[in-house]
Amino acid sequence: DARVTQTPRHKVTEMGQEVTMRCQPILGHNTVFWYRQTMMQGLELLAYFRNRAPLDDSGMPKDRFSAEMPDATLATLKIQPSEPRDSAVYFCASGLVTAGGPDEQFFGPGTRLTVL
């Protein structure tokens, strides 16, 4: 049963600390997305990659957020330094892009981040 995995599932940290979230996409998927969900803003796209290359990171605060794909099995999202307003659930999703166009995005379970 293929699924997207994310670690950690929960993270509580203090303002100013670095936070790293990890995602393992479904094997064979070539596109990885990072979304953030809050009560106020809903689901927001932060960044996405295709074949490990960043295609769009316009949704991320550039001064503190960074996203990378060191290899095809790992995507990371880092926040440095973290702020209380970063508290949210961060979802990673993966999908397979073909010549036929967009397809289903499979969401991971999310990382619930609380910044005190």
Quick one: which of 12, 7, 1 has its CA closest to 73? 7
CA separation for the pair 92, 6 (Å, rounded) = 7
CA separation for the pair 84, 90 (Å, rounded) = 14
29/79 with CB nearer other proteins? 29
Binding to other proteins (CB under 8 A) within 13-72 occurs at: 31, 33, 35, 42-45, 47-48, 50, 56, 59
CB 34 within 8 Å of CB 48: yes
H helix or E strand, kind and range, residue 12: strand 10-13
At closest approach, how far in Å is the CB of 6 from other proteins?
9
Stretches 12-20, 64-72, 74-82, 107-115: which one binds other proteins (CB under 8 A)? 107-115
The amino acid present at 62, given as its one-letter code, is K
Stretches 9-17, 62-70, 79-87, 93-101: which one binds other proteins (CB under 8 A)? 93-101
Site residues, other proteins (CB under 8 A): 31, 33, 35, 42-45, 47-48, 50, 56, 59, 91, 95, 97, 101-110
